[in-house]
Amino acid sequence: MRTSEHTIADRTVLVTGANRGIGYALVEAALNRGARRVYAGMRDPVDHPDRRVVALPLDVTDPAQIKAVADNIADLDVLVNNAGLGTYEELSDRTALESHLAVNLYGPYDLTLAVLPQLTASRGHVVNILSLAAVASLPVMPAYSISKAAAHSLTQAQRALFTTHGVRVHAVLTGPVDTDMTRGLDIPKTAPAAVAHAIYDGLEADQDDIFPDPMSATLEPAWDSGVIRTLERANSALRPAAAS
């Protein structure tokens, strides 16, 4: 029995960057929660033993692959924009900034618009896997931080504008997770499986902003009454007439 209208059970979920790290854990957690179908977007697709999983070729910077995914998925309840690039370089490296924006900003932007008809039909959810670096820049990863801040702004805009479509948009403000992306960092990290379940817990609880690990969770109590959420709520009243 469903405990809320937002459960993963019996739903169709698309996860990008599904071959490793948090994306792989999100696929496993969705299966564990009884998802009906999980589309696993990967640059190099590999089959999954569970017949509910459909592996799809999906480089989120490739317009043709995004179109093919949108054309071939008949229905969709939850899109998880997880695929991400996070590398360490100098702020002076402009090509690094462009690469991060291509994957972390334009990837979710293009894919979400491509499958918006399916999400509108299901009154579904977009889950954008962001980072605490979206809120305060990490000087060791400036291009990554800029791209996640832009993706956070995209999330806020989509959240306000997609209300007319009945589509909910969630930001996941993730702290350090034990994946390849943080391999060289000697800091406390949370296991991807725990993070994946916390993300779906937040979705099922219909939280706008999800804090899926112990470090990010320390921000949660003050978040909703803080300046960012207060301004976001005030600004969302200023939607264009056509979108209100």
Known catalytic residues are: 144
CB of 233 to ligand NAP, least distance (A): 24
Per the structure block, which two tokens stand in for 206? 């219909």
The H or E element spanning position 204 is helix 192-204
Query: How far is C-alpha 201 from the chain's CA centre?
Result: 14
Options 66, 79, 80, 83; binder of ligand NAP; rule CB under 6 A: 83
Give the Cα separation of 61 and 104 in Å (integer). Answer: 9
Q: Does 212 bind ligand NAP (CB under 6 A)?
A: no
Query: 61 or 163: whose CB is closer to ligand NAP?
Result: 61
Give the nearest distance from C-beta 106 to ligand NAP in angstroms. 10
Q: Does 176 bind ligand NAP (CB under 6 A)?
A: yes
Which of 37, 48, 56, 59: binder of ligand NAP (CB under 6 A)?
Answer: 59
For ligand NAP, which stretch binds (CB under 6 A), given 49-57, 69-77, 80-88, 219-227? 80-88
> For the chain, what is the total number of helices (H) and then of strands (E)?
10, 7
Instruction: Please select the residue that binds ligand NAP; options are 179, 198, 207, 211, rule is CB under 6 A.
Output: 179
Check residue 190 and report its DSSP letter: B
For ligand NAP, what does the binding mask look like between residues 39 and 58, x meaning CB under 6 A? ----x--------------x
From candidates 12, 112, 118, 131, binder to ligand NAP by CB under 6 A: 131
Closest CB to ligand NAP among 119 and 134? 134
Asked if 13 and 77 count as a contact pair (C-beta separation under 8 A), the reply is yes
- List Cβ neighbours of 124 (8 Å cut-off, separation of 6 or more): 76, 77, 78, 79, 118, 167, 168
Residue 19 is a binding residue for ligand NAP (CB under 6 A): yes
User: What stretch of H or E contains 127?
Assistant: strand 125-131
**CB contact at 8 A, 132 and 173:** yes
Contact between 96 and ligand NAP per CB under 6 A: no
Q: Give the start-end residues of each E strand in 28-88.
A: 37-42, 53-57, 78-81
Cβ closest to ligand NAP, residue 102 vs residue 121: 102
In angstroms, how far is CA 34 from the centroid of its own chain?
20
Candidate ranges 84-92, 111-119, 161-169, 236-244; the one touching ligand NAP (CB under 6 A) = 84-92
